[in-house]
Amino acid sequence: MREGKLGRVLVARFRRGDDVLERLNELMRDNGVVAGSLTGVGAVEKAKVGYHVGNGRYAAVSYDGPLEVLSCIGNVSLKDGAPFVHAHMTVADSKGKAYGGHLMPGCIVGATFEVTVLAYEGMALVRKLDRSAKLFLLDA
């Protein structure tokens, strides 16, 4: 367990064509966020989400849009000394069918993506390799 205090609150809007995960990681780096949580809503032209299949591996599934982002939630930590976003996203198609999973590179913003980041102070969240899971997990 780690304990800190709520620090800054950041709100940003990503533009059409942006890669959601790439921009989230960039936002954290540019603003020095090393511990925090995030939520996002908006729309994507393409969604790419994954699920853990074991042995530290993920399988990815892509969906073509337009898709509505129902929810994007995650956290921010340090991995190999750099800010790292771990998030999950749920999207829905025009018929209301929902798809979701681990946010992967390749989720491309449609009309907009709006994110709110709660940056924590007085703590560092660090990811370390868990050899049994073969994943970089929070050391908390």
Q: Is the dihedral of CA 13, 91, 59, 1 positive or negative?
A: positive
Q: Which domains does the chain have, with CATH numbers?
A: 10-138 (3.30.1330.80)
**Per-residue buried b or exposed e for 45-71, using 16+ beta carbons within 10 Å of the residue's own CB:** ebbbbbeeeeeeeeeeeebebebbbee
The C-alpha atoms of residue 62 and residue 130 are separated, in whole angstroms, by 28
Phi, psi values for residue 21, rounded to 5°: -65, -40
The C-alpha atoms of residue 78 and residue 21 are separated, in whole angstroms, by 15
Q: What is the average per-residue pLDDT within 125-134?
A: 92
Q: State the DSSP code for 95.
A: T
* Whole-number pLDDT of residue 91: 98
Q: State the DSSP code for 32.
A: T
Stated length of the chain: 140
Q: Is the pLDDT of residue 140 over 90?
A: no
The strand ranges marked E within 15-130 are 36-54, 57-79, 82-92, 98-103, 108-121, 127-130
* Whole-number pLDDT of residue 2: 85
Task: Give me the chain's average pLDDT, please.
Answer: 96
Taking only Cα atoms into account, the Rg of the chain, rounded to an integer number of angstroms, comes to 15
pLDDT band at 124 (very low <50, low <70, confident <90, very high): confident
